[in-house]
């Protein structure tokens, strides 16, 4: 009996062991999956650390010029074939898109302004396609300059841009992405939001009163999607510059109403969208707080406006060295107002002009941007032929006939 019991208990132990093995390999998948993923993360982190350590060791053990040569061989020539680009960089700008032409072109007092200064969804998509076909590539505006120490002074230098061979650098900016009340009433979206998965979407109220969440009626989601499927349209995933005022909040959130009971919620929502935009390759610029004309207002008012922007908008989007003058205005070196902008940390100052233009001052790079809007498309076809043929861009179905009659006759 004892021997049988011993054999039986051995068998029982063996069976129990087998069951334990089966459970541990297949029975508790959730726990296993969790432990697998967490161990993967740890491995990934370790590998990353090792790579960094190796790079550090390499840089320590080899002369610096050898390391640069290696990097050039690996990344520039073989993979991206980067070459220096000399010359002024194209910088074009838009306003938010007309998402609902029936609201923009409804015959009211604002109709003419929307025809002149805005473009439709279809026009934007055609423009981007043309720029891509003409071998433009989006670059980060902040790449244009670098600081150089000279004694105890700091100078601004123009960086040497390295661009994939055959490509032409391009900066895109969007002005007044604040979704002012007048814009909402005339056919722009209402605000940028994060969807359930944390991705950028747009929120608007359609002309029939329906609330709408979409991805195809504003520049940001459209350009994000375009770059996703045309990765060679962007250097390092860069998208564009979002130029914000502050007097009606930012990105559709009324963060200017600091005494409102909704303030905290508006601010948190705006911050979440801003964080995602940055992650997606967007950067920010000041467009002044109150959309004032820098050339016309007093120095005192310009300083007050700049400080208010820093407090209410800069506190949300983070520091930026880019200032985009409202009204395409400008002030020049030697003017105390120019110095006030530089003193406020703005080293790239953008006005409006008819062609790519840059001028370097000791403390700042001045650049012109070209306006992409109804005036450009309808009245200045010749001027934009290097970027697109505007007659092939115009949304003839959306824009009222009275503004495009002449062109229709020519086609």
- Site residues for Zn ion per CB under 5 A: 175-176, 326
Contacts 24+ apart (CB under 8 A), 208-212: none
- Cα angle 323, 324, 328 (rounded to 5 degrees) comes to 145
Q: How far is the CB of 287 from Zn ion (least distance, A)?
A: 6
Nearer to Zn ion, 101 or 326 (CB): 326
Kindly state the smallest distance separating residue 70's Cβ from Zn ion, in Å: 46
Nearer to Zn ion, 176 or 395 (CB): 176
* Residue number, 94 or 136, with CB nearest to Zn ion: 94
Nearest approach in angstroms of CB 34 to Zn ion is: 51
DSSP 312-367: IIIHHH----EEE-GGG----TTSHHHHHHHHTT--EEEEE-SS-EEEE-SS-EEE
CB 287 within 8 A of CB 314: no
**From residue 120, how far is each of 88, 98, 173, 227 by CA, in Å?**
28, 5, 16, 19
**Shortest distance in whole angstroms from residue 375 CB to Zn ion:** 14
Give the chain's largest Cα–Cα span.
110
Find the shortest distance in angstroms from Cβ 390 to Zn ion: 22
Give 96 or 326: the residue with its C-beta nearer to Zn ion. Answer: 326
Q: What is the closest distance, in whole angstroms, from the C-beta atom of residue 288 to Zn ion in the complex?
A: 8
Q: Which residue in the block uniquely carries the two structure tokens 């060679």? A: 232
- Measured CA to CA, the distance from residue 400 to residue 125 in angstroms comes to 20
* Strand segments (E) across 210-326: 211-214, 241-244, 283-286, 322-324
Instruction: Give 240 or 326: the residue with its C-beta nearer to Zn ion.
Output: 326
Nearest to 253 by CA among 308, 307, 319, 189: 189
Task: Give per-residue burial for 168-206: e unless 16+ CB within 10 Å, then b.
Answer: bbbbbbbbbbbbbeebbebbbbbbbbeeeeeebbbbbee
Q: How far is the CB of 258 from Zn ion (least distance, A)?
A: 22
233 versus 373: smaller Cβ distance to Zn ion: 373
Of 174 and 193, which CB lies nearer to Zn ion in the complex structure? Answer: 174
């Amino acid at each position: 009996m004892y021997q049988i019991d011993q054999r039986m208990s051995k068998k029982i132990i063996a069976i129990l062991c087998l069951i334990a093995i089966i459970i541990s390999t297949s029975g508790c998948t959730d726990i296993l999956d969790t432990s697998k993923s967490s161990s993967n993360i740890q491995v990934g982190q370790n590998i990353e650390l090792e790579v960094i350590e190796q790079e550090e060791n390499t840089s320590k053990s080899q002369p610096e010029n050898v390391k640069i040569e290696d990097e050039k061989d690996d990344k520039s020539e073989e993979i991206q074939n980067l070459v220096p680009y000399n010359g002024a960089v194209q910088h074009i700008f838009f306003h938010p898109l007309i998402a609902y032409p029936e609201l923009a072109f409804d015959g009211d007092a604002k109709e003419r302004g929307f025809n002149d200064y805005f473009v439709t969804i279809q026009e934007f998509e055609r423009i981007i396609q043309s720029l891509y076909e003409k071998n433009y590539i989006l670059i980060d505006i902040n790449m244009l300059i670098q600081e150089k120490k000279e004694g105890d002074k700091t100078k601004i230098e123009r960086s040497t841009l390295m661009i994939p061979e055959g490509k032409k650098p391009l900066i895109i900016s969007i002005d007044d992405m604040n979704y002012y009340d007048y814009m909402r009433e005339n056919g722009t979206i209402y605000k940028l939001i994060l969807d359930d998965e944390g991705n950028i979407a747009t929120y608007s109220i359609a002309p029939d009163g329906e609330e709408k969440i979409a991805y195809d009626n504003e520049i940001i989601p459209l350009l994000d999607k375009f770059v996703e499927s045309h990765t060679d349209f962007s250097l390092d995933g860069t998208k564009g510059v979002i130029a914000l005022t502050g007097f009606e909040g930012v990105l559709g959130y009324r963060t200017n109403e600091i005494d409102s009971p909704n303030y905290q919620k508006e601010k948190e929502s705006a911050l979440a969208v801003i964080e995602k935009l940055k992650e997606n390759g967007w950067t920010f610029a000041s467009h002044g707080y109150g959309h004032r004309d820098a050339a016309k207002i007093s120095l005192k008012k310009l300083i007050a406006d700049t400080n208010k922007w820093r407090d209410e908008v800069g506190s949300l989007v983070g520091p930026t060295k880019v200032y985009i003058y409202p009204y395409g205005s400008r002030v020049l070196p030697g003017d105390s107002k120019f110095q006030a902008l530089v003193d406020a940390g703005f080293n790239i100052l953008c006005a409006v002009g008819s062609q790519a233009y840059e001028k370097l001052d000791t403390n700042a790079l001045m650049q012109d941007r070209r306006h992409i809007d109804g005036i450009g498309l309808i009245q200045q076809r010749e001027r934009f032929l290097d970027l697109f043929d505007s007659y092939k861009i115009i949304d003839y179905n959306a824009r009222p006939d009275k503004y495009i009659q002449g062109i229709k006759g020519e086609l």
